[in-house]
Amino acid sequence: MNPDEIDALLASPETALAEALAQEDQHLLHSLVMLRRELGLSQAAVAERMGVSQAAVSLFERVGNDPRMSTVRRYARALEAMVHHKVDPAGCGDTSASESITHFSTEGVSSAPTAAAAWGAQVPSTFVEQWEPLPASAGEYNVGASHD
């Protein structure tokens, strides 16, 4: 392939959709990790609730991980959170209004936007850009740091 063919491939709607889908997955995982931290739960506590090792939770939280849907459900259940899914038949449409995590507890029900919703309809152009700092209200998550 020559450089022009590569540029054309990268600019294709199919490539843009594939990248956006992968980024949405990472936004979801990032939002779940932020919720765990906001709840004050350690990886070990979540692991115990899930019936897995702390190392398994650490792997789940790693950037670039591609967990099974059943693992995402178990992690969300350990946080007492609900994850909502939405199919957008238009492809890379505006998903900002539909992305949220709902937290159920004995104190009631609360809902918070995912990282994708907090960023609005902005879809970062590269994988690295998705980890730019979030608004202060979204919490902190340091990629290279210990996740406990």
Residue 46 pLDDT > 90, yes or no? yes
Rounded Cα distance between 89 and 83, Å, is 19
Residue 131 pLDDT > 50, yes or no? no
Average pLDDT on 1-5 reads 75
The percentage of residues in the chain with a pLDDT greater than 90, rounded to a whole number, is 39
Beta-sheet strand order (sheet of 81-83): 81-83, 100-105, 108-113
In this predicted structure, which of 13-17, 50-54, 97-101 has the lowest mean pLDDT? 97-101
Q: Which residue has the higher pLDDT, 83 or 121?
A: 83
Domains and CATH numbers, the chain: 3-138 (1.10.260.40)
Residue 124 pLDDT > 70, yes or no? no
Tokens of 69: 């849907």
Are 81 and 101 in contact by the 8 Å Cβ rule? The answer is yes
Are 114 and 28 in contact by the 8 Å Cβ rule? The answer is yes
pLDDT at res. 56: 97
Average pLDDT, whole number, for the chain? 74
Backbone phi, psi, residue 6, to 5°: -65, -45
Q: Which residue has the higher pLDDT, 44 or 137?
A: 44
Average pLDDT on 108-134 reads 49
Average pLDDT on 3-10 reads 70
Cβ burial 22-45 (10 Å sphere, 16+ → b, else e):
ebbebbbbbbbbbbbeeeebebeb
Q: Residue 96, exposed/middle/buried by CB under 10 A (0-12, 13-18, 19+)?
A: middle
Angle at 110 between CA 96 and CA 107, to 5 degrees: 170
Q: Which residue has the higher pLDDT, 25 or 141?
A: 25
